[in-house]
């Protein structure tokens, strides 16, 4: 993570300070629902799969 932060600091001519402190600040802002995005993607896949299977049944 330090290497990525260093690369961004050089590209954008800025300074993050301690990247781990910055990461902690982001994570402490609000509680994270880490599976929310995964649940959303799973529901899209399921809906698409159901749509594809109904089209195959029609053939």
Q: What is the pLDDT of residues 11-54, one digit of tens each?
A: 999 998 888 888 888 777 766 666 888 888 899 999 988 877 66
What percent of the chain shows pLDDT beyond 90? 25
- pTM, full prediction: 0.42
CA distances from 8 to 5, 18, 25, 32 (A): 5, 13, 18, 25
Q: Are 50 and 44 in contact (CB under 8 A)?
A: no
């Amino acid at each position: 993570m330090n290497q990525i932060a260093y690369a961004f600091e050089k590209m954008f001519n800025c300074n993050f300070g301690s990247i781990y402190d910055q990461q902690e600040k982001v994570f402490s802002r609000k509680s994270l629902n880490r599976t929310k995005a995964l649940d959303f993607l799973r529901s899209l896949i399921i809906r698409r799969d159901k749509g594809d299977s109904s089209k195959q049944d029609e053939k």
